[in-house]
Structure 1
Amino acid sequence: MDVLSDAVAAMRTGRPHSSRTVNVAPWGVWFPASDGAGFHVVLQGSAWLMRPGVAEPVRLGPGDVAFLAHGPGHGLADHPDTPLQDAEWKSDGTWAGMPPGPDPAPGAQTLLLCGAYQLSRTRAHPLLTELPPVVHVPAHVGAHHRLRGAVDLLGAEMADPAPGSHAIVPALLDTLLVYLLRTWWLQERPDAAHGWAGALRDPAVTAALRAIHGEPAHPWTVEELGSAAGLSRAAFARRFTALVGQPPLAYLTWWRMTTAGRLLREADAPLRTVAEQAGYTSEFAFAKAFKREYGIAPGQYRKQAG
């Protein structure tokens, strides 16, 4: 396992959805705040993305992707001055698009691909919480091939559904989310030497994170993780703490508890099994650690999550 895949898996809940809409100028849509995350891709034409309290709107051109990881309320329109109407939602939770205006002018159409993810923020990973309000990935020629490939496949499947689309579209949405995060953290992030952008680029820290996420139940020591990273204990601890934002064993404990919470939500395994997978040989010790972290006993947490 790797940290990016795990971060997405730990937060994702429910089924993602998407819509492909044609909007004829003038058009403007208001998307209310939500607990999930959403994205907009301009397949043709252009659009402006606006947020309350932010003076400068973001212009989206053909091929541009905008990802809103924190679910803020925002507007999308053909022009910043166009009045916004509340998004019209269909029964499946997707956006229906704006009704065509009278006699639209040639070239005044905007083709959009929009989607949303249901995310649990109870144990949000820093890879998502540290994202800016809007992740804007411009369509650079010759760049982001895999992200573009995922967008093209999703757009084609939405434009021409066929047998199997019901299974293909959610898988492509999950793929798109991972490619969006990878593109931002590994290619677009301006301060790549710091924080999680630096952690994902640092071979030593990445090796330690891979070890933790690959075997969270292993009784890791700082020395062992430093050895996996190819550094001395002290040098590794300093580098890991500087980039990840917490010491190695603190992150290990946090991830173990995050893993345990997901297992309690999604599986019916006995508490003993959950404790073992979280690195605890004693169910009592696990319950104590879990309650210290979540403020609630594991069994009660499972009942509430169900």
Structure 2
Amino acid sequence: MSSSTPLSSRRLSSAHLDELIALLEIRVLGLSECLVSEGFMLDLDGNDAPGIHYILSGAGLLHIEGADTVPLSPHTLLIVPPHHPLKLEVPANRAGIAPTVVTGREHKHAADSINRFRAGTTEPMTVMICGYFNAAFGASINLFETLSAPIVEQFDPSDRLDVYLRTAFDELMAQEIGAGAMSGALLKQVIVALVRRSLKTSALWMERFALLGDPQIARAFADMTARPAAPHTVESLARISSLSRSAFMARFSAAFGQTPMQVLRDLRMRQAAANLRAGDLALDQVARNAGYASRGAFMRAFREIYGTGPAEYRAASPGT
């Protein structure tokens, strides 16, 4: 792509982006409080999933493996790529004093049903909500999986991100019915706030994502995500992208690491899994809703994605 291409033509349209965000499924894998006293550093392991970290109060420095040190203040939000350990430091007032390093996994405890990581014995100077999550369009299409560098954004109290994250935290701790769905919905509001911020600033962090960085390919993916049961073909998707068949295949595979039909199968299986969890539709109807005319082909595809048959999946789903 030429560097002279206007910025507006390199970005996904608001309509397609809105469609993709609407169909994005957020699942919170865990949230904890991180409390650090002056002169201490909390060392946290990386995780297979992307991390989300939000400063509730205080200031400090966040050292992320493979990235520049990030200065922190209240309402700083960070999305950290998978497998990136980090260290939250609250420097001592006196220069030249090295911080005391505390390993998070050795100082995690639960009090009043709240999971906490604690570094220091005095009043904490900095409090951060830290956790991990998945943001997916199907069983394997994860928005943040290919993120290579942290996203750092400074918000204001009026943006209410602390309220969303605190409430999600409380939901997970309460473990009432629907806690997972509620916490996911709350975290999605944080992700939407991030997307809006990127559209209004020069940060342009969305262009770091392979599936959003190529607007022509993203248009086809948006249509696949919105209508997984439609009779999509490589040719029809290439037309949506305004590309030749060969160019579409090459660019789609580069963006996703899979062929269009592999990604479509993944999205169709997500549709089928949702139908199986939601009710007692006959398997033939579930197959048709997922775009399969053959029950046998549907069952084979479902087993390849989920490792079990549709009937067994439904039987094992909560509430069925």
- TM-score tier by shorter-chain length is 0.5 to 0.7
Q: Which position in structure 2 is the counterpart of 1:124?
A: 140
What TM-score, normalized by structure 1, do the two folds share? 0.68
Cα contact 2:62–2:88 (8 A) shared by 1 = yes
Determine which of 190, 205, 210 is the counterpart of 1:176.
190
Letter in 1 for 2:110: W
Determine which of 82, 107, 118 is the counterpart of 2:100.
82
Task: Return the alpha-carbon distance in structure 2 between the equivalents of residues 233 and 124 of structure 1.
Answer: 24
Task: Return the alpha-carbon distance in structure 1 between the equivalents of residues 113 and 158 of structure 2.
Answer: 21
Which aligned pairs between 1:1-306 and structure 2 lie closer than 5 A?
2-6=19-23, 8-9=24-25, 12=27, 17=31, 19=33, 23-31=36-44, 37-50=50-63, 54=65, 58-62=69-73, 63-70=75-82, 74-79=86-91, 81-84=99-102, 86-95=107-116, 101=122, 109-110=125-126, 112-117=127-132, 119=134, 123-132=139-148, 135-139=150-154, 148=155, 152-155=159-162, 171-180=185-194, 188=203, 192=207, 195-199=210-214, 202=215, 204-264=216-276, 269-304=281-316, 306=318
Deviation at 1:49, TM superposition (A): 3.3
Shift of the 151–76 alpha-carbon distance from structure 1 to 2, 3 Å rule, reads: farther
Task: Return the alpha-carbon distance in structure 1 between the equivalents of residues 208 and 80 of structure 2.
Answer: 23
Cα contact 2:20–2:222 (8 A) shared by 1 = yes
Deviation at 1:222, TM superposition (A): 2.0
Superimposed CA distance per residue, residues 217-267 of structure 1 (whole angstroms, 9 cap, x where no aligned partner): 011122222232334444433433333333322321222224334544565
Deviation at 1:288, TM superposition (A): 1.7
Cα contact 1:35–1:71 (8 A) shared by 2 = yes
Deviation at 1:178, TM superposition (A): 4.1
Shift of the 95–228 alpha-carbon distance from structure 1 to 2, 3 Å rule, reads: same
Partner SS, residue 128 of structure 1: coil
Identity of aligned residues (%): 24
Task: Return the alpha-carbon distance in structure 2 between the equivalents of residues 263 and 226 of structure 1.
Answer: 29
Aligned residues: 278
Task: Return the alpha-carbon distance in structure 1 between the equivalents of residues 158 and 83 of structure 2.
Answer: 21
Deviation at 1:73, TM superposition (A): 5.6
Shift of the 156–250 alpha-carbon distance from structure 1 to 2, 3 Å rule, reads: closer
Letter in 1 for 2:283: L
Deviation at 1:206, TM superposition (A): 2.3
Q: Which position in structure 2 is the counterpart of 1:144?
A: none
Task: Provide structure 1 residue ranges, at least 5 long, that are not aligned to the other structure.
Answer: 140-147, 161-165
Deviation at 1:274, TM superposition (A): 2.7
Letter in 1 for 2:90: D
What TM-score, normalized by structure 2, do the two folds share? 0.65
Deviation at 1:286, TM superposition (A): 0.5
Shift of the 291–24 alpha-carbon distance from structure 1 to 2, 3 Å rule, reads: closer
Cα contact 1:223–1:233 (8 A) shared by 2 = yes
Cα contact 1:154–1:172 (8 A) shared by 2 = no
Partner SS, residue 95 of structure 1: strand
Question: What's the C-alpha RMSD, in Å, of the aligned pairs?
Answer: 4.4
Partner SS, residue 2 of structure 1: helix
Cα contact 1:48–1:57 (8 A) shared by 2 = no
Letter in 1 for 2:228: P
